[in-house]
Amino acid sequence: MRVEVIGCYGGELAGKRSCSLLVDDEVLVDAGSFGASLSLKRLLRINHVLVSHAHCDHIKDLASLADLAIGHRKDPIRIYASDGVMGDMKRHFFNNRLWPDFFSLPSPLSPILRPVTFLPGRWFRVGHLRVSAHPVTHPVECMGFIVRGKTGSFVYSGDTGPTEVLWKAANRLSDLKLVLIETKFPNSLQMVADAAGHLTPRTLAGELEKIRCKGQVLVYHMKPDCLAELRRQVKEIGDPRLGLLRQGQVLEI
């Protein structure tokens, strides 16, 4: 399994993109910011998109993906989300006010985006991969994902504060190679992180005690204006598994 980090930040500045991972060239995990970094040819290879939650920084490039794909492909792009997250996207984003309803265009019988809902905790197929989704701790409905290929599995936490269900599921895996865990705010913004449902290095340290993975644990969704502070505080945790995810990085699992 090849995981390409298109974007990995909790906000955007020059050269820093919101969260999108591209798995084996055809499966996106979140759609925060990928359009400006991929050619049309590569965009048209994307057949599946996993959406953790409906906050703008995780779905906004679905708008341009749908718009660009019309006229270039006949098969729909499948969008995978929980019932609640799918409902949020339809009511508040693809609602013919904020953006056209590409779940019904170019026609209701042949839309460019095909909604696929799943049951949390159950395995489902996404192309050649198997995925399970688990609720995490955020002000809106949000899912963390376990993504499994032939050579192993990885965890993508979604946006979360301290949480339990995802780690219990991850700890049951025998083939877990990598954990990607959000940590948006530095310790100096702990109150903001707690209110917004995000981790800081301080609360990350507590989550690491719950995670049995012996492979890498990489931090993502970092505020780009706080990178130096976050890097220092993550290093101070002293966990040998721990590092920061890098935009442009390619992970082989």
User: What average pLDDT is seen over the chain?
Assistant: 97
Residues near 166 by Cβ (< 8 Å), separated by ≥ 6?
Answer: 134, 135, 136, 144, 146, 155, 157, 160
Amino acid residing at 172: R
Q: Which residues pair with 228 in a beta bridge?
A: none
List domains and CATH numbers for the chain. 2-252 (3.60.15.10)
Average confidence (pLDDT) over 15-20 = 95
pLDDT more than 70, % of the chain: 100
Instruction: Give residue 75's pLDDT band: very low, low, confident or very high (50, 70, 90).
Output: very high
Distances (CA, A) of 11 to 4, 19, 229: 19, 9, 16
* Residue 170 pLDDT greater than 80, yes or no: yes
pLDDT for 37 equals 85
Instruction: Give residue 34's pLDDT band: very low, low, confident or very high (50, 70, 90).
Output: confident
Sign for the CA dihedral angle at 201, 207, 213, 218 comes to: negative
User: DSSP assignment, residue 71?
Assistant: T
pLDDT for 185 equals 98
SS (H, E, C) 19-67: CEEEECCCEEECCCCCHHHCCHHHHCCCCEEECCCCCHHHHCCHHHHHH
Average confidence (pLDDT) over 47-51 = 99
Residue pLDDT, tens place only, 197-231? 999 999 999 999 999 999 999 999 999 999 999 99
Determine the 3-state secondary structure of 78 from DSSP: strand
Amino acid residing at 14: A
Spatial CA neighbour of 222 closest among 186, 253, 248:
186
Tokens of 130: 């198997």
Average confidence (pLDDT) over 109-127 = 97
Helical H segments across 70-220, by residue range: 83-92, 165-170, 190-196, 201-208
* Residue 35 pLDDT greater than 90, yes or no: no
Tokens 């721990």 sit at which residue?
A: 242
pLDDT for 248 equals 96
